[in-house]
């Protein structure tokens, strides 16, 4: 590939020797109306108590992203029962991880 690089450098050098300038054509700025904006669908949010339960599960299992932890989570009858009592379904692993990673620890000092 050195030939391509050399050709690119040569064409750039000859372009600048000719005294040509590069002009940028920018599109006109449009005024954005808030009414025109729409929020896209994002990751579903899990209630805080469920996030707490998944955090406790992560502490017990060590991780929720490992394949073994995913299997234990999906085979957990007690977790399904706990969620069902609250009218919830078992969310996907990536949804659980996104919600858990959104939790921040705050220090009161």
Whether residue 23 is contained in a domain is answered as no
- What are the tokens at 29? 């700025």
Q: What is the pLDDT of residue 84?
A: 94
Whether residue 94 is contained in a domain is answered as yes
The whole domain housing 82 covers 63-103
Cβ neighbors of 68 (< 8 A, separation 6 or more) are 61
> How many folded domains does the chain comprise?
1
pLDDT digits (tens, 9 = 90+) for 47-92: 889 988 998 899 888 888 889 999 998 899 999 999 999 999 999 8
Q: What's 50-71 look like in SS3?
A: HHHHHHHHHHHHCCCCCHHHHH
Whether residue 87 is contained in a domain is answered as yes
Model pTM score: 0.56
Whether residue 89 is contained in a domain is answered as yes
């Amino acid at each position: 590939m050195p030939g391509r690089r050399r050709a690119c450098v040569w064409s750039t050098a000859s372009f600048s020797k000719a005294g040509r300038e590069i002009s940028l054509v920018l599109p006109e700025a449009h005024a954005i109306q808030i009414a025109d904006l729409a929020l896209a669908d994002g990751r579903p949010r899990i209630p805080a108590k469920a996030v707490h339960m998944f955090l406790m599960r992560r502490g017990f299992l060590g991780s929720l992203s490992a394949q073994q932890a995913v299997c234990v989570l999906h085979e957990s009858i007690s977790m399904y029962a706990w969620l069902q009592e609250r009218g919830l379904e078992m969310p996907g692993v990536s949804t659980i991880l996104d919600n858990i990673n959104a939790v921040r620890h705050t220090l009161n000092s």
